[in-house]
Structure 1
């Protein structure tokens, strides 16, 4: 599946903003991509992950979709997932929250 942002899409959205030293931004991006490719995308309920890096070099944001909040919580307890997150937490601080889309607006 691919990311679809719609108030009618019944998914749980994770927005996780990592703060990192500029010299570690690209490394963090690569670590998140690797974690997603090797583990996250194979876990029940995973739909998509979208990794963004800020132009100021100090933030990386993961916009991810999970089928349910319970699926996301199960991922957090998965030993393979936590193994990927441990080194990430050594180089970055994070602010993660689950959301629901209430509106999606565009031209046309």
Structure 2
């Protein structure tokens, strides 16, 4: 069974939330770059679980919500030259970005 995004408190994974600021006319291009990077590179890296790319309705933000089996797996990806090439391309399209690792602390459903 393929891994999918599963948001669950207490789960021992590394959750990357990277918020990109982008000019509205470049938003679709940035989404395409992040999607291509995930398909061509990230999903084949050890420890990758999932990635979800979100585009804001105002066109000014793109959010990458990605899950990795551990912080060590995430850090290994950061050191990978092929992955860095994609990250450099995404950064060049943005006005700025703010990647951070998170732990899910609380989840609520109807």
Pick the TM interval, shorter chain.
Answer: over 0.9
Alignment of 1:105 with 2:108, yes or no, is yes
Q: In the alignment, which residue of structure 1 is the partner of 2:61?
A: 59
Cα deviation, residue 9, structure 1:
2.2
Cα deviation, residue 91, structure 1:
1.4
CA–CA distance in structure 2, aligned partners of residues 40 and 87 of structure 1? 14
* Superposition misfits of 4+ residues, deviation over 6 angstroms: none
CA–CA distance in structure 2, aligned partners of residues 44 and 85 of structure 1? 17
CA–CA distance in structure 1, aligned partners of residues 16 and 88 of structure 2? 18
Q: How does 1:1-108 map to 2 (within 5 A)?
A: 1-92=3-94, 93-107=96-110
Gaps of 5+ in 2: none
Q: What do you get for the CA RMSD once the two structures are aligned? A: 0.7
Per-residue deviation, residues 54-91 of structure 1 (Å, max 9, x unmatched): 00001000110000011111111101100111121111
TM-score by length of 1: 0.96
